Amino acid sequence: MPIIKSTNTFIERSLNLVETNPSNITISITYGSQSKKSKSKHLQNNNDGKILKLKSFVSFKIFNSKSGELHKFKTFKLKSVSKILTVLGPHGIQINQSNNNTNSTNDEFKSIRGFGSILANKDIEENDNDGEQQQEIDESTQISNESSIKKNKKKKNKR
């Protein structure tokens, strides 16, 4: 199967593949650089004498061993990598359903379930307690700092 060009298309097709048979899915993430193909590791000379920076890429493959279906996606953009890594997690994402019209004012979003929750066969809820946990961590570090100050004072008095 050829490489899919659109991030949203790749996500939707992969979602259908994961939902149909999650036990036979293999997900592969490959990071690479074009420097392997050139003589220089950091810069490449163009025919015009201009120097071009080489780009790194990330390739995603989702393969169903039972049906033999394979979806490939290759990108140079960090935003696309972030979007796909987020959908691979348990919480999923929302994608824009408009037909790539930038002038569209009524953007319709489709909520996509995370692949992690599909593979675990369980809905995973997002914790809203992060602020409370951070506050508990801050309080514990403050207590440990106060105790270390008291120890230092005791040592100074003994000297």
Q: Give every CB contact of residue 69 below 8 A, 6+ residues apart in sequence.
A: 1, 17, 63
Q: Give the tens place of pLDDT for each residue, 62-113.
A: 999 888 899 999 999 999 999 999 888 888 888 877 655 455 556 788 788 8
Q: Are 121 and 109 in contact (CB under 8 A)?
A: no
Q: Are 72 and 80 in contact (CB under 8 A)?
A: no
| Residue at 49: amino acid letter | G
- Taking each helix axis as running N to C, give the angle between helix 78-88 and helix 7-20, from 0 to 180 degrees, rounded to the nearest 10: 20
Q: Are 14 and 71 in contact (CB under 8 A)?
A: yes
Question: Which tokens in the block code for residue 26?
Answer: 């293999």
Give the pLDDT mean for 15-39: 82
Q: Give the tens place of pLDDT for each residue, 114-133.
A: 888 888 877 777 665 555 55
- pTM to 2 decimals? 0.63
Rounded CA-CA distance 159/157 in Å is 6
